[in-house]
Amino acid sequence: MLLPELRNQVLRANQEIARRGLAPHTFGNASGIDRSGAEPLVVIKPSGVDYASLTPADLVITDLDGKIIEGALRPSSDLDTHTLLYREFPQIGGVVHTHSEFATSWAQAGRPIPCLGTTHADYFHGPVPVTDPLTAEEVAEAYVRNTGAVIVRRFRIQNLDPLAVPGVLVAGHAPFTWGKTPADAVEHADVLEYIARLAYRSTLLGASDAGIPAYVSEHHYQRKHGPKATYGQG
pLDDT in tens, 109-168: 999 999 999 999 999 999 999 999 999 999 999 999 999 999 999 999 999 999 999 999
pLDDT band at 73 (very low <50, low <70, confident <90, very high): very high
pLDDT digits (tens, 9 = 90+) for 8-62: 999 999 999 999 999 888 889 999 999 998 899 999 999 988 888 899 999 999 9
Please tell me which residue in 63, 132, 161, 231 is annotated as part of the active site.
231
- Give mean pLDDT, residues 97-115: 98
- Catalytic-residue membership of 194: no
- Of 34, 122, 194, 200, catalytic: 122
In the annotation, is 122 catalytic?
Answer: yes
Q: Distance between CA atoms of 166 and 185, rounded to whole angstroms?
A: 8
CA dist list (Å): 49 to 3, 72, 122, 159: 20, 13, 34, 37
Kindly tell me if the per-residue pLDDT of 106 is higher than 70: yes
Q: Is the pLDDT of residue 105 over 70?
A: yes
Which CATH number is 4-225 given?
3.40.225.10
Domain boundaries, the chain: 4-225
Q: Nearest to residue 192, comparing CAs of 93, 59, 102?
A: 102
